[in-house]
Amino acid sequence: MAQDPQFTRWLEQITATGGCSHPVHLSGSTTTLDATTGEILRHYDTRDQPGERLLVRCRNRRATVCAPCSRLHAGDTFHLVRAGLIGGKNVPVTVRQRPRLFITLTAPSFGAVHRAGEDRCRPRRGRGQCEHGRPLGCGALHDPADYLLGQPLCADCYDYPAHVLWHAHAGKLWDRFVIGVRRQLASAAGVVQSRFPDNARLSFARVAEYQKRAAVHVHAIVRLDGPAGPTDEPPDWGTVDCLTDAVHASASRVVVRTPYSPAVGELALRWGIQVDARPLHADGDGPDDDAVAAYVAKYVTKGASETGAGTDYRLTTWDDIKAARVSGHVRALMSTCWRLGGLPELAHLRLRSWAHTLGYRGHILTKSRAYSTTYTALRADRARHVGHEVPPGTVTDAHWRYVGSGHTPAGSQFAAGIAEDLAGLREAIRDERAHGGRAQ
Ligand SMILES: [Zn+2]
Ligand SMILES: [Zn+2]
Ligand SMILES: [Zn+2]
How far is Cα 33 from Cα 29, in angstroms, rounded to an integer? 13
Read off the DSSP letter of residue 93. G
pLDDT band at 439 (very low <50, low <70, confident <90, very high): very low
Q: What angle do CA 89, 92, 95 make, to 5 degrees?
A: 115
- Give tens-digit pLDDT for 286-344: 567 778 887 777 776 666 566 667 777 788 899 999 998 889 999 999 999 999 999 99
- Give tens-digit pLDDT for 214-263: 999 899 999 999 999 989 999 999 999 999 999 999 999 999 999 999 99
CA 129 to ligand 3 center in whole angstroms = 8
**Where exactly are the structural domains of the chain?**
16-60+376-439, 92-110+159-371
Amino acid identity of 251? A
Per-position b or e across 316-338, b if 16+ CB within 10 A of its CB = eeeebbeebebbebbebbbbbbb
CA 384 to ligand 1 center in whole angstroms = 20
* Nearest ligand for residue 415 CA: 1
Q: In this predicted structure, what is the pLDDT of residue 160?
A: 97
Q: In this predicted structure, what is the pLDDT of residue 440?
A: 33
What stretch of H or E contains 8? helix 5-16
- Give tens-digit pLDDT for 179-204: 999 999 999 999 998 999 999 999 99
CA 382 to ligand 3 center in whole angstroms = 55
Mean pLDDT of 4-23: 82
**Between residues 172 and 119, the one the model is more confident about:** 172
CA 298 to ligand 2 center in whole angstroms = 28
The neighbouring-strand residues paired with 113 are: 152
- Give tens-digit pLDDT for 17-73: 888 888 888 888 888 888 888 888 888 888 888 888 888 888 887 777 888 888 888
Q: Check whether 369 has a pLDDT greater than 60.
A: yes
Q: In this predicted structure, what is the pLDDT of residue 438?
A: 41
CA 45 to ligand 1 center in whole angstroms = 23
Q: In this predicted structure, what is the pLDDT of residue 287?
A: 60
How far is Cα 353 from Cα 180, in angstroms, rounded to an integer? 30
Would you say the C-alpha torsion 196, 198, 199, 201 has a positive or negative sign?
A: positive
CA 58 to ligand 1 center in whole angstroms = 4
For the ranges 39-48, 94-103, 160-169, the maximum mean pLDDT occurs at 160-169
* Nearest ligand for residue 136 CA: 3
Q: In this predicted structure, what is the pLDDT of residue 288?
A: 75
Strand stretches in 69-171, DSSP E:
100-105
Neighbours of 347 (CB within 10 A): 12
Neighbours of 247 (CB within 10 A): 23
CA 141 to ligand 3 center in whole angstroms = 22
Q: CB of 98 within 8 A of CB of 224?
A: yes
CA 135 to ligand 3 center in whole angstroms = 8
Q: Check whether 211 has a pLDDT greater than 50.
A: yes
The CA radius of gyration of the chain, in Å to the nearest whole number, is 26
